[in-house]
A and B are shown apart, each in its own frame.
Chain A
Amino acid sequence: MLTVDDQIGAYVEAFGRRQKQMSAQDRWCDSLQEAAMNRFVELGFPSAGDEDWRDTRLEHITNTAFCLAESDSSNCSEATVASHGFPGLESTVLVFVDGHWNPDLSSTTPMSRGVYIGSLAVAIDINREQVEPHFAQYANGQQDSFAALNTAFFDDGLFVYVPNNTVVDRPIHAMYISSASGGEPAMAHPRNLIVVGQSSDVTVIEDYFSLGDQKHFTNTVTELVISRNARAAHYRLCRENQNAISVTTLRTRQSQDSNLVSHSVMTGGQWIRNNLHNEFTGSNGTSLLNGLYVNRRNQHVDNHMVVEHAAAHCSSRQVYTGILDDQASAVFGGRIIVAKDAQKTDAKQSNRNLLLSEAAQINAKPQLEIYADDVKCTHGATVGQINEDAVYYFRTRGLSEPAARALAVYAFASESLGRIDLDSIRANLTRTILAQLPHGELIEEVV
């Protein structure tokens, strides 16, 4: 077992090795990365006393010396990409393997009308004027250890730039593949930046999965800027292997009249911390933050949400739903902050949980911080068991008890799945979730 100091030291060493390898390059963001590393060393990992981490232990990260993943695309082929695609979804595919961009496996996209969809590292070199105003401006690398760590270590990630008055028709499907095969447990720090211009529209799917079964650590940060009257749909699909550790951070900033739909679906992984910070800086913005976690064995998922109403007349909806079986545990920390001038804010938060076993656990902590006086804010967290009336009713119509139970459990997830409007993704996730529910196969023919 490593002491925490050893652990920090290991990251410092890894950073040093990385700098030596990259010394030939000289990029404008180098100083940012170095400053972030220094800040991480100052911050260290969150301690047990940190209120934001009260119900989530960090041992899965601090007990392992993760090495920086080499780009190992050898076991990643076009077939890998094809088999993880969503049949029927016409998308622009970007592939990142162990944190590094793989141009050969990515779609070649004509970047018409000033749209950029591709590697952030490339954009840092050739599109500095698009990246620099936003990069590391929103994610809180000063206070958040993992954001600092990501900034320090990121090698690449997705950069999407949509100019004003532009609709990007095809969803962007970014695959973050961890090879997770052999050698030391690896870490990757994908970094994404999505900038949506005024009155524009884009859909981005961040899709995290592993090829092998080995433990690995993914620490990803996405900054999403939605300009005036623009719309963005963002998907975060966590379907990594059962030993995977991940911290995912989505930081959004919404201008006036903008709209965000965010879906976070967590079905894989051993341990997930999902940070989502949705900020309104202009009036009349709306957001829907839809989340679904279906966990079993000893999986742990911690959803840490902050919705910050800094402007008036905005409306936010957080709806997070969880189904926990075996010894799985989950945390829902949901904070709504309404600034003094954010009058007529309409913020709703709901967290529903279904526990399928005695040992499954959920800790829900809704928090409201309201400094305005004319607002509508509600929050609610529920924990329940399976709807026995439904099970009985189904059985009186001939469904076996396991099938009736599976259908009653599916019912709990279906509202959340129903909010996903890309049919091919919804269908795929429904299959994934059925495969994780007890006797889900019995109801495959009807859902």
Chain B
Amino acid sequence: MLEIENLHVNVGGNEILKGVTLSIGAGEVHSIMGPNGSGKSTLAQVLAGNDSYEVTEGSVVYEGSDLLSMSVDERACAGVFLAFQYPAEIPGVSNTQFLKAALNAVRRFRGEESLDAVDFLALVEEKRKVVQMDTSFLKRSVNEGFSGGEKKRHEVFQMALLEPKMVIMDETDSGLDIDALRIVSDSVNSMRNQERGFLVITHYQRLLNYIVPDFVHVLVKGKIVKSGGKELALDLEAKGYTALSHGKSPAVAGVGSN
């Protein structure tokens, strides 16, 4: 459902991604691991449509459409969802207002009716329990004063509410304690199905004990240097990234994709 081909991306004149090729099929969970500065977050932002990142070469096709020519909100409405590493804090807009605006925008795009206040709150209540967020968060401003863990749970909560098809998670595990990690992972696992694809970006193997990926890719200096199954993550945890960055030729990207 998502075909990334030879993607080159510049940020402020520096080339950060240097030819990334990756194919994610429906129902698959792919994980991208890599050291700091390898370009993981850049990949996530480019897929979401952040215009401070300049694509200089390559293509991204999402469900048969040219993703790179779609606007940020077109991508979101078409089902691409980015769970941010650092979600924006937005004083002055309550979570209720924000979530309602987002849900209705996505529903209208899908040709569904806007939800009225009662149905909206019922749906929020149902999803809220999954991520175990307190009801008081609805009245608070979007992400304002949220702890790191609350922000991440809020991202996952939005994912559950909007039901996207292609989920990109940018270091959702960072800043989470073990309990929160389990809550977040359970939510993600409950959303895994044959139609939905996941791209899980993480530093650490720990998250992958909870969200078990089908494929693991290692991104180093803007290139995927190795791809494999879930055991690759364990291998990395044992040997570190540096073993991969020296001398080894890149493995065939997109192993096992369809």
Q: Are B90 and A395 in contact (CB under 8 A)?
A: no
Given contacts A396-B49, A397-B101, 14 further A-B contacts (CB under 8 A): A392-B50, A392-B88, A394-B101, A396-B73, A396-B76, A396-B84, A398-B105, A399-B73, A407-B97, A411-B91, A412-B92, A414-B92, A446-B104, A447-B97
From A393, A394, A397, A447, contact of B162 by CB (8 A): A397
Supposing A394-B98, A397-B102, A446-B100 touch, asked if A404 and B73 sit within 8 A by C-beta, the answer is yes
Interface residues of B (CB under 8 A from A): 48-50, 71-73, 75-77, 81-82, 84, 87-88, 90-93, 97-98, 100-102, 104-106, 109, 114, 141-142, 158, 162
Q: Which residues of A contact B48 (CB under 8 A)?
A: 396
Which 5 residue pairs of A and B lie closest in terms of their CB atoms, listed nearest first? Answer: A411-B92, A397-B102, A398-B105, A395-B72, A398-B76
Distance, CA A407 to CA B81, complexed state (A): 20
Interface mask (A371-387 → B, CB under 8 Å = 1, otherwise 0) = 00000000000000001
Q: Which residues of B contact A408 (CB under 8 A)?
A: 90, 93
Distance, CA A407 to CA B92, complexed state (A): 9
A400 within 8 A of B: yes
Q: Are B162 and A396 in contact (CB under 8 A)?
A: no
Chain A's nearest CB lies how many Å from the CB of B169? Answer: 13
Q: Name, among B50, B76, B87, B88, the residue most crowded by chain A CB atoms within 10 Å (CB to CB).
A: B88
Q: Are A403 and B105 in contact (CB under 8 A)?
A: yes
A132 within 8 A of B: no
Interface residues of A (CB under 8 A from B): 387, 389-390, 392-401, 403-404, 407-408, 410-415, 443, 445-447
From A389, A395, A396, A411, contact of B93 by CB (8 A): A411
From A387, A398, A411, A446, contact of B106 by CB (8 A): A398
Distance, CA A400 to CA B104, complexed state (A): 11
Supposing A392-B50, A446-B100 touch, asked if A398 and B109 sit within 8 A by C-beta, the answer is yes
Q: Which residues of B contact A392 (CB under 8 A)?
A: 50, 72, 88
Q: Are B88 and A393 in contact (CB under 8 A)?
A: yes
Q: Which residues of B contact A410 (CB under 8 A)?
A: 92-93
Q: Which residues of A contact B114 (CB under 8 A)?
A: 445
Distance, CA A106 to CA B232, complexed state (A): 80
Chain B's nearest CB lies how many Å from the CB of A441? Answer: 13
Q: Are B90 and A387 in contact (CB under 8 A)?
A: yes
Q: Are A398 and B82 in contact (CB under 8 A)?
A: no
Q: Which residues of B contact A443 (CB under 8 A)?
A: 101
Closest B residue, CB atoms, query A414: B92
Closest A residue, CB atoms, query B73: A395
Distance, CA A397 to CA B74, complexed state (A): 10
Q: Which residues of B contact A447 (CB under 8 A)?
A: 97
Chain B's nearest CB lies how many Å from the CB of A403? Answer: 7
Distance, CA A408 to CA B93, complexed state (A): 8
Q: Which residues of B contact A415 (CB under 8 A)?
A: 91-92
Q: Which residues of A contact B49 (CB under 8 A)?
A: 395-396
Q: Can you give 12 contacting A-B residue pairs, CB < 8 Å?
A: A395-B71, A396-B76, A397-B158, A399-B101, A400-B73, A401-B72, A408-B93, A411-B91, A413-B92, A415-B92, A446-B101, A446-B104
Q: Are B100 and A398 in contact (CB under 8 A)?
A: no
Chain B's nearest CB lies how many Å from the CB of A412? Answer: 6
Q: Which residues of B contact A396 (CB under 8 A)?
A: 48-49, 72-73, 75-76, 81-82, 84
Q: Are A398 and B73 in contact (CB under 8 A)?
A: yes
Distance, CA A91 to CA B210, complexed state (A): 60
Chain A's nearest CB lies how many Å from the CB of B84? Answer: 7
Distance, CA A33 to CA B75, complexed state (A): 68
Chain B's nearest CB lies how many Å from the CB of A283? Answer: 34
Q: Which residues of B contact A412 (CB under 8 A)?
A: 92
Chain A's nearest CB lies how many Å from the CB of B105? Answer: 4
Q: Name, among A389, A404, A446, the residue most crowded by chain B CB atoms within 10 Å (CB to CB).
A: A446
Q: Which residues of B contact A400 (CB under 8 A)?
A: 73, 105
Chain B's nearest CB lies how many Å from the CB of A401? Answer: 7
Q: Are A445 and B104 in contact (CB under 8 A)?
A: yes
Q: Which residues of A contact B101 (CB under 8 A)?
A: 394, 397, 399, 403, 407, 443, 445-446
Distance, CA A395 to CA B90, complexed state (A): 13
Closest A residue, CB atoms, query B110: A398
Q: Name, among B49, B90, B91, the residue most crowded by chain A CB atoms within 10 Å (CB to CB).
A: B90
Distance, CA A413 to CA B81, complexed state (A): 29
Distance, CA A396 to CA B81, complexed state (A): 7
Closest A residue, CB atoms, query B109: A398
Q: Are A389 and B88 in contact (CB under 8 A)?
A: yes
Chain A's nearest CB lies how many Å from the CB of B52? Answer: 9
Closest A residue, CB atoms, query B90: A390
Q: Which residues of A contact B82 (CB under 8 A)?
A: 396
Q: Are A414 and B105 in contact (CB under 8 A)?
A: no
Closest A residue, CB atoms, query B100: A446
Q: Which residues of A contact B142 (CB under 8 A)?
A: 390, 393
Distance, CA A325 to CA B49, complexed state (A): 28
Closest B residue, CB atoms, query A442: B101
Q: Which residues of A contact B75 (CB under 8 A)?
A: 396
Chain B's nearest CB lies how many Å from the CB of A282? Answer: 35
Q: Are B76 and A395 in contact (CB under 8 A)?
A: yes
Q: Are A414 and B162 in contact (CB under 8 A)?
A: no
Distance, CA A394 to CA B48, complexed state (A): 12
Q: Name, among A395, A408, A447, the residue most crowded by chain B CB atoms within 10 Å (CB to CB).
A: A395
From A387, A393, A403, contact of B87 by CB (8 A): A393
Chain B's nearest CB lies how many Å from the CB of A405? Answer: 12
Q: Are B92 and A393 in contact (CB under 8 A)?
A: no
Distance, CA A446 to CA B84, complexed state (A): 23
From B50, B73, B77, B98, contact of A401 by CB (8 A): B73
Distance, CA A410 to CA B90, complexed state (A): 11
Q: Name, among A397, A408, A411, the residue most crowded by chain B CB atoms within 10 Å (CB to CB).
A: A397
Q: Which residues of A contact B105 (CB under 8 A)?
A: 397-400, 403
Chain A's nearest CB lies how many Å from the CB of B71? Answer: 7
Q: Which residues of A contact B104 (CB under 8 A)?
A: 445-446
Distance, CA A428 to CA B102, complexed state (A): 24
Q: Are A390 and B71 in contact (CB under 8 A)?
A: no
Q: Are B73 and A407 in contact (CB under 8 A)?
A: no
Chain B's nearest CB lies how many Å from the CB of A127? Answer: 45
